[in-house]
Amino acid sequence: MSKVRHVLGISGGKDSAALAVYVKTKYPSIDLEFYSCDTGKELDETYKLIQNLEVYLGLKINLLQGAKKSSEDPFDHFLKMYGGFLPSSQARWCTKKLKLEPFENYVGTDPVISYVGIRGDEEREGYISTRKNIQSIFPFRKNIWSQDVVTKLLSNQNLEQLSEMSKNIGFDKNKDKALQIISRKVDNTFTLDQKLNSLLDADVKAFNHLVFAFLKTTDYPLGTEASFPLLDNDEVLVRSDIFRILEESGVGVPAYYNKIDFEVNGKVGQYARSRSGCFFCFFQQKIEWVWLYEQHPELYKKAMDYEKDGYTWGQTESLEELIRPARMSAIKEEYIKRMERRSKIKSPYLIDILSDEEEEGCAACFI
Ligand code: SF4
Protein backbone atom coordinates (compact mmCIF):
# COMPACT_ATOMS: atom_id res chain seq x y z
CA MET A 1 0.00 0.00 0.00
CA SER A 2 1.33 3.48 -0.82
CA LYS A 3 2.18 5.97 1.91
CA VAL A 4 -0.78 7.63 3.62
CA ARG A 5 -1.16 11.29 2.62
CA HIS A 6 -2.41 13.86 5.13
CA VAL A 7 -4.31 16.65 3.36
CA LEU A 8 -6.07 19.78 4.56
CA GLY A 9 -8.37 21.82 2.32
CA ILE A 10 -8.52 25.60 2.62
CA SER A 11 -11.98 26.82 1.58
CA GLY A 12 -11.23 30.52 2.11
CA GLY A 13 -13.37 30.49 5.25
CA LYS A 14 -12.16 31.08 8.79
CA ASP A 15 -12.49 27.53 10.16
CA SER A 16 -10.30 25.73 7.62
CA ALA A 17 -7.71 28.53 7.83
CA ALA A 18 -7.60 28.20 11.62
CA LEU A 19 -7.40 24.42 11.30
CA ALA A 20 -4.33 24.75 9.08
CA VAL A 21 -2.64 26.97 11.68
CA TYR A 22 -3.72 24.71 14.57
CA VAL A 23 -2.63 21.35 13.14
CA LYS A 24 0.59 22.67 11.64
CA THR A 25 1.60 24.35 14.92
CA LYS A 26 0.43 21.71 17.35
CA TYR A 27 1.40 18.62 15.34
CA PRO A 28 4.49 19.56 13.30
CA SER A 29 5.32 15.86 12.86
CA ILE A 30 2.32 15.41 10.53
CA ASP A 31 3.48 15.77 6.94
CA LEU A 32 0.56 17.93 5.83
CA GLU A 33 -0.31 18.93 2.27
CA PHE A 34 -2.58 21.95 1.82
CA TYR A 35 -4.89 22.54 -1.12
CA SER A 36 -7.63 24.93 -2.12
CA CYS A 37 -10.21 24.41 -4.88
CA ASP A 38 -10.31 27.60 -6.92
CA THR A 39 -13.58 28.35 -8.71
CA GLY A 40 -12.11 31.49 -10.27
CA LYS A 41 -14.96 33.42 -8.62
CA GLU A 42 -13.80 33.90 -5.05
CA LEU A 43 -13.60 37.28 -3.35
CA ASP A 44 -10.18 38.99 -3.29
CA GLU A 45 -10.23 38.56 0.51
CA THR A 46 -10.12 34.78 0.01
CA TYR A 47 -7.04 34.95 -2.22
CA LYS A 48 -5.44 37.28 0.36
CA LEU A 49 -6.16 34.77 3.14
CA ILE A 50 -4.49 32.03 1.09
CA GLN A 51 -1.41 34.23 0.59
CA ASN A 52 -1.25 35.01 4.33
CA LEU A 53 -1.50 31.32 5.14
CA GLU A 54 1.29 30.46 2.72
CA VAL A 55 3.55 32.95 4.49
CA TYR A 56 2.60 31.60 7.93
CA LEU A 57 2.91 27.93 6.96
CA GLY A 58 6.04 28.48 4.87
CA LEU A 59 4.45 26.23 2.25
CA LYS A 60 2.71 26.52 -1.07
CA ILE A 61 -1.02 25.78 -1.02
CA ASN A 62 -1.90 23.69 -4.07
CA LEU A 63 -4.60 25.46 -6.08
CA LEU A 64 -6.87 22.84 -7.66
CA GLN A 65 -9.13 23.69 -10.56
CA GLY A 66 -11.77 21.80 -12.47
CA ALA A 67 -11.29 21.96 -16.28
CA LYS A 68 -7.68 23.02 -15.90
CA LYS A 69 -7.03 23.03 -19.63
CA SER A 70 -9.92 25.37 -20.37
CA SER A 71 -9.09 28.97 -21.31
CA GLU A 72 -12.02 30.14 -19.15
CA ASP A 73 -12.44 30.34 -15.37
CA PRO A 74 -13.55 26.92 -14.06
CA PHE A 75 -17.05 28.20 -13.17
CA ASP A 76 -17.61 29.74 -16.62
CA HIS A 77 -16.37 26.61 -18.34
CA PHE A 78 -18.87 24.38 -16.54
CA LEU A 79 -21.69 26.91 -16.80
CA LYS A 80 -21.37 26.64 -20.57
CA MET A 81 -21.35 22.86 -20.29
CA TYR A 82 -24.63 23.05 -18.32
CA GLY A 83 -26.22 25.27 -20.99
CA GLY A 84 -26.24 28.44 -18.84
CA PHE A 85 -28.25 26.72 -16.07
CA LEU A 86 -27.21 28.48 -12.86
CA PRO A 87 -26.50 26.23 -9.87
CA SER A 88 -28.84 26.35 -6.87
CA SER A 89 -29.20 24.62 -3.52
CA GLN A 90 -31.26 21.92 -5.31
CA ALA A 91 -28.85 21.56 -8.26
CA ARG A 92 -25.36 22.07 -6.91
CA TRP A 93 -23.32 21.10 -9.94
CA CYS A 94 -20.81 23.81 -8.94
CA THR A 95 -19.75 22.01 -5.74
CA LYS A 96 -19.40 18.72 -7.57
CA LYS A 97 -17.45 20.07 -10.55
CA LEU A 98 -15.43 22.81 -8.86
CA LYS A 99 -14.71 21.35 -5.42
CA LEU A 100 -15.31 17.63 -5.03
CA GLU A 101 -14.07 16.31 -8.36
CA PRO A 102 -10.83 18.37 -8.39
CA PHE A 103 -10.13 17.14 -4.84
CA GLU A 104 -10.82 13.51 -5.70
CA ASN A 105 -8.62 13.78 -8.83
CA TYR A 106 -5.85 15.34 -6.72
CA VAL A 107 -5.73 12.46 -4.26
CA GLY A 108 -6.40 9.76 -6.86
CA THR A 109 -6.34 6.30 -5.32
CA ASP A 110 -3.78 7.14 -2.61
CA PRO A 111 -4.82 6.44 0.97
CA VAL A 112 -5.65 9.84 2.45
CA ILE A 113 -6.46 11.39 5.81
CA SER A 114 -8.47 14.53 5.17
CA TYR A 115 -8.60 17.08 8.01
CA VAL A 116 -11.93 18.94 8.25
CA GLY A 117 -12.55 22.14 10.25
CA ILE A 118 -16.02 21.46 11.65
CA ARG A 119 -15.96 23.08 15.11
CA GLY A 120 -16.85 21.64 18.48
CA ASP A 121 -19.93 23.91 18.65
CA GLU A 122 -21.43 22.72 15.35
CA GLU A 123 -23.83 19.86 14.72
CA ARG A 124 -23.13 19.23 11.05
CA GLU A 125 -20.93 16.44 9.79
CA GLY A 126 -19.28 18.11 6.76
CA TYR A 127 -18.07 16.55 3.57
CA ILE A 128 -17.42 12.84 3.76
CA SER A 129 -16.04 11.35 0.60
CA THR A 130 -17.66 8.15 -0.52
CA ARG A 131 -14.22 6.99 -1.71
CA LYS A 132 -12.86 4.28 0.55
CA ASN A 133 -9.32 5.64 0.28
CA ILE A 134 -10.31 9.00 1.88
CA GLN A 135 -10.86 9.14 5.64
CA SER A 136 -12.02 12.37 7.32
CA ILE A 137 -10.80 13.53 10.74
CA PHE A 138 -12.29 16.44 12.72
CA PRO A 139 -9.57 17.81 15.06
CA PHE A 140 -11.71 20.63 16.55
CA ARG A 141 -14.38 18.27 17.90
CA LYS A 142 -14.46 16.10 20.99
CA ASN A 143 -15.32 13.25 18.62
CA ILE A 144 -12.62 13.46 15.95
CA TRP A 145 -14.02 10.46 14.02
CA SER A 146 -16.42 10.48 11.09
CA GLN A 147 -19.91 9.03 11.40
CA ASP A 148 -19.11 6.01 9.21
CA VAL A 149 -16.21 5.01 11.49
CA VAL A 150 -18.35 5.39 14.63
CA THR A 151 -21.21 3.38 13.12
CA LYS A 152 -18.88 0.53 12.19
CA LEU A 153 -17.01 0.62 15.50
CA LEU A 154 -20.10 0.57 17.72
CA SER A 155 -22.03 -1.95 15.65
CA ASN A 156 -23.52 -4.70 17.85
CA GLN A 157 -21.55 -7.25 15.82
CA ASN A 158 -18.32 -5.89 17.34
CA LEU A 159 -19.23 -6.11 21.02
CA GLU A 160 -16.91 -9.00 21.81
CA GLN A 161 -14.03 -7.72 19.71
CA LEU A 162 -14.21 -4.24 21.29
CA SER A 163 -14.53 -5.62 24.82
CA GLU A 164 -11.38 -7.65 24.21
CA MET A 165 -9.48 -4.68 22.74
CA SER A 166 -10.51 -2.31 25.51
CA LYS A 167 -8.91 -4.55 28.18
CA ASN A 168 -5.53 -3.25 26.96
CA ILE A 169 -6.59 0.38 26.80
CA GLY A 170 -6.21 2.66 29.81
CA PHE A 171 -9.60 4.05 30.72
CA ASP A 172 -7.96 4.32 34.19
CA LYS A 173 -10.44 4.98 36.97
CA ASN A 174 -13.35 4.74 34.52
CA LYS A 175 -12.31 1.31 33.28
CA ASP A 176 -15.26 -0.66 34.72
CA LYS A 177 -17.73 1.93 33.52
CA ALA A 178 -16.14 1.98 30.04
CA LEU A 179 -16.21 -1.82 29.79
CA GLN A 180 -19.88 -1.82 30.76
CA ILE A 181 -20.70 0.78 28.09
CA ILE A 182 -18.70 -1.07 25.45
CA SER A 183 -20.45 -4.37 26.15
CA ARG A 184 -23.95 -2.82 26.09
CA LYS A 185 -25.90 -3.31 22.86
CA VAL A 186 -27.17 -0.36 20.85
CA ASP A 187 -30.99 -0.45 20.73
CA ASN A 188 -34.02 1.81 21.23
CA THR A 189 -33.09 2.41 24.87
CA PHE A 190 -29.40 3.09 24.20
CA THR A 191 -28.76 4.80 20.90
CA LEU A 192 -25.53 4.93 18.95
CA ASP A 193 -25.10 8.60 19.90
CA GLN A 194 -25.66 7.84 23.58
CA LYS A 195 -23.08 5.09 23.46
CA LEU A 196 -20.59 7.32 21.67
CA ASN A 197 -21.10 10.21 24.11
CA SER A 198 -20.85 7.92 27.15
CA LEU A 199 -17.50 6.61 25.93
CA LEU A 200 -16.22 10.10 25.15
CA ASP A 201 -17.32 11.25 28.61
CA ALA A 202 -15.52 8.29 30.19
CA ASP A 203 -12.18 9.23 28.59
CA VAL A 204 -11.68 10.90 25.21
CA LYS A 205 -8.04 9.84 24.79
CA ALA A 206 -8.70 6.21 25.73
CA PHE A 207 -11.67 6.14 23.35
CA ASN A 208 -9.43 7.45 20.56
CA HIS A 209 -6.90 4.70 21.25
CA LEU A 210 -9.72 2.14 21.10
CA VAL A 211 -10.85 3.49 17.71
CA PHE A 212 -7.27 3.40 16.44
CA ALA A 213 -6.87 -0.25 17.53
CA PHE A 214 -10.16 -1.05 15.78
CA LEU A 215 -9.09 0.74 12.58
CA LYS A 216 -6.11 -1.58 12.39
CA THR A 217 -8.58 -4.41 11.73
CA THR A 218 -10.14 -2.49 8.81
CA ASP A 219 -8.95 -1.05 5.51
CA TYR A 220 -9.33 2.59 6.62
CA PRO A 221 -6.18 4.61 5.70
CA LEU A 222 -5.38 5.45 9.32
CA GLY A 223 -5.29 1.76 10.18
CA THR A 224 -2.01 1.45 8.27
CA GLU A 225 -0.25 4.19 10.26
CA ALA A 226 2.04 3.20 13.16
CA SER A 227 0.82 6.08 15.32
CA PHE A 228 -1.40 9.16 15.18
CA PRO A 229 -0.66 12.17 17.40
CA LEU A 230 -4.27 13.37 17.51
CA LEU A 231 -5.25 10.33 19.61
CA ASP A 232 -4.01 12.23 22.65
CA ASN A 233 -5.85 15.45 21.83
CA ASP A 234 -8.95 16.15 23.90
CA GLU A 235 -9.27 19.86 23.11
CA VAL A 236 -12.61 21.13 21.80
CA LEU A 237 -12.44 24.35 19.78
CA VAL A 238 -15.40 26.68 19.29
CA ARG A 239 -16.01 29.81 17.24
CA SER A 240 -14.21 32.23 19.58
CA ASP A 241 -11.11 29.97 19.46
CA ILE A 242 -11.11 30.20 15.67
CA PHE A 243 -10.97 34.00 15.66
CA ARG A 244 -8.31 33.92 18.39
CA ILE A 245 -6.09 31.50 16.42
CA LEU A 246 -6.32 33.60 13.26
CA GLU A 247 -5.60 36.84 15.07
CA GLU A 248 -2.76 35.53 17.27
CA SER A 249 -1.03 33.81 14.35
CA GLY A 250 -1.05 37.02 12.29
CA VAL A 251 -2.88 35.24 9.45
CA GLY A 252 -5.87 37.45 10.21
CA VAL A 253 -9.61 37.13 9.83
CA PRO A 254 -10.81 37.59 6.22
CA ALA A 255 -11.87 41.20 5.80
CA TYR A 256 -15.38 40.32 4.58
CA TYR A 257 -16.30 39.36 8.18
CA ASN A 258 -15.76 42.97 9.32
CA LYS A 259 -18.92 44.85 10.20
CA ILE A 260 -19.76 47.93 8.12
CA ASP A 261 -22.36 50.53 9.15
CA PHE A 262 -25.34 51.27 6.91
CA GLU A 263 -28.25 53.63 7.32
CA VAL A 264 -31.86 53.18 6.28
CA ASN A 265 -34.81 55.52 6.99
CA GLY A 266 -33.03 57.06 9.97
CA LYS A 267 -32.00 53.72 11.47
CA VAL A 268 -28.44 52.43 11.61
CA GLY A 269 -27.45 48.82 11.10
CA GLN A 270 -24.32 46.83 10.39
CA TYR A 271 -23.74 44.25 7.73
CA ALA A 272 -20.95 41.92 6.57
CA ARG A 273 -20.56 38.79 4.57
CA SER A 274 -20.88 35.69 6.72
CA ARG A 275 -18.84 33.19 4.71
CA SER A 276 -16.39 32.42 1.95
CA GLY A 277 -17.20 30.97 -1.47
CA CYS A 278 -18.05 32.43 -4.87
CA PHE A 279 -19.09 36.09 -4.82
CA PHE A 280 -22.43 35.13 -6.41
CA CYS A 281 -23.10 32.13 -4.19
CA PHE A 282 -26.82 31.36 -4.06
CA PHE A 283 -26.50 30.46 -0.36
CA GLN A 284 -25.96 34.09 0.62
CA GLN A 285 -28.68 35.96 2.45
CA LYS A 286 -30.53 38.96 1.01
CA ILE A 287 -28.58 41.37 3.21
CA GLU A 288 -25.33 39.87 1.91
CA TRP A 289 -26.46 40.59 -1.66
CA VAL A 290 -27.07 44.19 -0.54
CA TRP A 291 -23.59 44.20 1.03
CA LEU A 292 -22.16 42.96 -2.28
CA TYR A 293 -24.03 45.62 -4.24
CA GLU A 294 -22.87 48.44 -1.98
CA GLN A 295 -19.34 47.25 -1.13
CA HIS A 296 -18.37 45.50 -4.40
CA PRO A 297 -20.67 46.98 -7.08
CA GLU A 298 -18.51 45.62 -9.89
CA LEU A 299 -18.98 42.05 -8.58
CA TYR A 300 -22.74 42.57 -8.18
CA LYS A 301 -22.87 43.72 -11.78
CA LYS A 302 -21.00 40.56 -12.84
CA ALA A 303 -23.43 38.42 -10.83
CA MET A 304 -26.33 40.18 -12.59
CA ASP A 305 -24.76 39.45 -15.96
CA TYR A 306 -25.13 35.72 -15.26
CA GLU A 307 -28.91 36.08 -14.87
CA LYS A 308 -30.30 35.53 -18.32
CA ASP A 309 -32.49 33.02 -20.16
CA GLY A 310 -34.85 33.00 -17.16
CA TYR A 311 -32.22 31.78 -14.68
CA THR A 312 -31.74 33.76 -11.46
CA TRP A 313 -29.53 33.26 -8.39
CA GLY A 314 -32.42 33.61 -5.96
CA GLN A 315 -35.63 31.58 -5.92
CA THR A 316 -38.00 34.52 -5.60
CA GLU A 317 -36.48 37.55 -7.33
CA SER A 318 -33.77 38.56 -9.75
CA LEU A 319 -30.75 40.63 -8.74
CA GLU A 320 -32.18 43.52 -10.75
CA GLU A 321 -35.35 43.38 -8.63
CA LEU A 322 -33.39 43.06 -5.39
CA ILE A 323 -31.63 46.42 -5.83
CA ARG A 324 -34.74 48.49 -6.44
CA PRO A 325 -34.54 51.23 -3.74
CA ALA A 326 -37.76 50.22 -1.97
CA ARG A 327 -36.73 46.55 -1.94
CA MET A 328 -33.24 47.28 -0.59
CA SER A 329 -34.70 49.45 2.17
CA ALA A 330 -37.12 46.67 3.12
CA ILE A 331 -34.28 44.12 3.27
CA LYS A 332 -32.22 46.43 5.45
CA GLU A 333 -35.11 47.22 7.80
CA GLU A 334 -36.04 43.58 8.19
CA TYR A 335 -32.41 42.77 8.89
CA ILE A 336 -32.10 45.51 11.55
CA LYS A 337 -35.18 44.03 13.28
CA ARG A 338 -33.60 40.58 13.19
CA MET A 339 -30.38 41.95 14.66
CA GLU A 340 -32.29 43.69 17.44
CA ARG A 341 -33.94 40.39 18.39
CA ARG A 342 -30.52 38.80 18.69
CA SER A 343 -28.63 41.75 20.11
CA LYS A 344 -28.08 40.02 23.44
CA ILE A 345 -25.18 38.12 21.87
CA LYS A 346 -22.00 40.14 22.47
CA SER A 347 -19.44 39.68 19.76
CA PRO A 348 -17.36 41.82 17.38
CA TYR A 349 -18.45 39.54 14.53
CA LEU A 350 -21.89 39.41 12.97
CA ILE A 351 -21.29 35.78 12.23
CA ASP A 352 -21.72 35.04 15.93
CA ILE A 353 -25.21 36.46 15.68
CA LEU A 354 -25.91 34.70 12.39
CA SER A 355 -24.70 31.37 13.66
CA ASP A 356 -27.75 29.39 12.60
CA GLU A 357 -27.47 30.64 9.03
CA GLU A 358 -23.78 29.81 9.00
CA GLU A 359 -24.47 26.12 9.31
CA GLU A 360 -26.61 26.05 6.17
CA GLY A 361 -25.00 25.48 2.85
CA CYS A 362 -21.97 23.91 1.42
CA ALA A 363 -19.39 22.41 3.76
CA ALA A 364 -16.90 22.03 0.90
CA CYS A 365 -17.05 25.80 0.23
CA PHE A 366 -17.54 27.49 3.59
CA ILE A 367 -15.68 25.66 6.36
S1 SF4 B 1 -19.48 28.84 -3.09
FE2 SF4 B 1 -21.61 28.55 -3.66
S3 SF4 B 1 -21.61 28.93 -5.90
FE4 SF4 B 1 -19.49 28.59 -5.31
S5 SF4 B 1 -19.11 26.39 -5.64
FE6 SF4 B 1 -19.75 26.64 -3.48
S7 SF4 B 1 -21.98 26.34 -3.45
FE8 SF4 B 1 -21.35 26.73 -5.59
Which one is predicted more confidently, 217 or 167? 217
Q: How far is CA 86 from the centre of its chain?
A: 23
How far is residue 162's CA from residue 214's CA, in Å, rounded to a whole number? 8
Residue of minimum CA distance from atom 8 in ligand 1 = 94
User: Which one of 89, 278, 312 would you pick to mutate in the ligand 1 pocket, going by the greatest count of ligand atoms within 8 A of its CB?
Assistant: 278
Single out the residue of 113, 111, 109, 143 nearest to residue 128, CA to CA.
113
Closest CA to 80 of 222, 71, 95, 160: 71
Going by pLDDT thresholds of 50, 70 and 90, the confidence category of residue 356 is: very low
281 lines ligand 1 (CB under 6 A): yes
Of all atoms in ligand 1, which is nearest to the CA of residue 361?
7
**What pLDDT is recorded for position 344?**
59
Per-residue CA distances from 182 to 177, 190, 211 (Å): 9, 12, 12
Ligand 1 in contact with 165 (CB < 6 A)? no
Asked whether 238 and 35 are in contact (CB, 8 A), the reply is: no
Atom of ligand 1 nearest to the CA of 366: 1
Overall fold of domain 5-145+232-249: Rossmann fold (3.40.50)
> What pLDDT does residue 343 have?
67
Report residue 135: phi and psi, to 5°: -115, 130
Q: Output the pLDDT for position 353.
A: 47
Residue nearest to atom 6 of ligand 1 (CA): 365
> Phi, psi at residue 342, to the nearest 5°?
-105, 10
Indicate if ligand 1 lies below 6 Å from the C-beta of 363: no
Measured in Å, residue 99 CA sits from the centre of ligand 1 at: 9
What is the rounded distance in angstroms from the CA atom of residue 153 to the CA atom of residue 346? 40
Which residue puts its alpha carbon closest to atom 2 of ligand 1? 281
Is the distance from CB of 322 to CB of 331 less than 8 angstroms?
yes
Q: What number does the ligand 1 atom closest to the CA of 98 have?
A: 5
Compute, in angstroms, the gap from residue 79 CA to the centroid of ligand 1.
12
**Whether 35 contacts 7, CB under 8 Å:** yes
**CB of 118 closer than 6 A to ligand 1?**
no
Q: Is the pLDDT of residue 351 over 90?
A: no
For 131-164, letters b (16+ CB in 10 Å) and e give: eebbbbbbbbbbbbbbeebbebbbeeebeeebee
Write the pLDDT tens digit of every residue in 228-238: 999 999 999 99
Distance from Cα 95 to the centre of ligand 1, integer Å: 6
Asked if residue 270 has pLDDT above 60, the reply is: yes
The letter for the amino acid at 182 is: I
Q: What is the mean pLDDT of residues 322-343?
A: 92
Domain boundaries, the chain: 5-145+232-249, 150-225, 255-366
Pocket test residue of 98, 100, 103, 256 for ligand 1, highest count of atoms within 8 A of CB: 98
Query: Is the CB of residue 284 below 6 angstroms from any atom belonging to ligand 1?
Result: no
The answer to whether the CB of 350 is under 6 A from ligand 1 is: no
365 in ligand 1 pocket by Cβ < 6 Å? yes
pLDDT-derived band of residue 173, with 50, 70 and 90 as boundaries? confident
CB of 277 shorter than 6 A to ligand 1: yes
pTM: 0.91
CA–centroid distance, 358 to ligand 1, in Å, is 14
Q: Any residues with CB less than 8 A from the CB of 68 and at least 6 apart, and which?
A: none
Residue 186: C-alpha distances to residues 36, 147, 157, 191 (Å): 39, 15, 10, 5
Report the residue among 78, 95, 100, 127 best suited for mutation to probe ligand 1: largest number of ligand atoms under 8 A from its CB.
Answer: 95
pLDDT digits (tens, 9 = 90+) for 208-225: 999 999 999 999 999 999
Ligand 1 center–CA 70 separation, angstroms: 19
Helix ranges (DSSP H) in 100-183: 101-107, 147-153, 159-166, 175-183
Query: Region 305-324: what's the mean pLDDT?
Result: 93
Beta bridge partners of 8: 34, 115
Q: What is the mean pLDDT of residues 41-55?
A: 94
Give residue-wise pLDDT tens across range 17-38: 999 999 999 999 999 999 999 9
